[in-house]
Amino acid sequence: MQTARGFIQQLERRAQLVTHEGAEELDPSSGSRGFLKAKTANRWGPSDHLSTAEKDTNGEVLWVWSYPSTTASLRDLLLRKCCLTDENKLLHPFVFGQYRRTWFYITTVEVPDSSILKKVTHFSIVLTAKDFNPEKYAAFTRILCRIYLKYGSPVKMMESYIAVLTKGICQSEENGSFFSKDFDSRKAYLAGSIKDIVSQFGMETVILHTALMLKKRIVVYHPKIEAVQEFTRTLPALVWHRQDWTILHSYMHLHAEELEGLQMCTGYIAGFVELEVSNRPDLYDVFVNLADSEITIAPLAKETMTMGKLHKEIGQLIVQSAEDPEKSESQVIQDIALKTKEIFTNLAPFSEVSGDGGKIILSVEALKQKRFPPATENFLYHLAAAEQMLKI
- Per-residue pLDDT tens digits for 222-271: 999 999 999 999 999 999 999 999 999 999 999 999 999 999 998 999 99
Query: Which domains, from first to last, does the chain contain?
Result: 49-183 (3.30.450)
- What is the distance between the terminal CA atoms of the chain, rounded to a whole angstrom? 20
Distance CA 239, CA 374 (A): 23
What pairs with residue 221 in β-bridges? 272, 289
Phi-psi region of 176 (alpha: psi -120 to 50; beta: other; left: phi over 0): left
Considering only residues 381 and 353, tell me which one the structure prediction assigns the higher pLDDT.
Answer: 381
- What pLDDT was estimated at residue 37? 30
Query: Mind listing the pLDDT tens digit for each residue in 341-362?
Result: 999 888 888 888 776 666 788 8
pLDDT at residue 38 is higher than 90: no
Mean pLDDT for the chain? 87
pLDDT at 176: 86
| Strand pairing report for 217-221 and 268-272 | parallel
Peptide bond into 299 cis (omega under 30): no
Indicate if the pLDDT at residue 58 is higher than 50: yes
Q: Which residues contact 1 (CB under 8 A, 6 or more apart)?
A: 353, 358
Q: What is the rounded CA–CA span in Å between residue 326 and residue 345? A: 28
Q: What is the pLDDT of residues 97-139, one digit of tens each?
A: 999 899 999 999 999 988 899 899 999 999 999 999 999 999 9
DSSP state of 77: H
Residue 2's pLDDT is 52
Measured CA distances, 69 to 51, 65, 103, 113, 360 (Å): 9, 9, 17, 30, 45
Taking CA atoms, 4 is separated from 27, 351, 381, 388, 389, in Å, by 22, 7, 16, 13, 11
Which pLDDT band holds residue 22 (cuts at 50, 70, 90)? very low
Identify the sign of the CA torsion 71, 74, 76, 79.
Answer: negative
pLDDT classification of 379: cutoffs 50, 70, 90: very high
Q: What is the pLDDT at residue 45?
A: 56
Q: Using one digit for the tens of pLDDT, what is the confidence trace for 208-218?
A: 999 999 999 99
Q: How many Cα atoms within 13 Å fall on the side-chain side of residue 96? A: 25
Looking at the DSSP bridge assignments, the partners of residue 306 are none
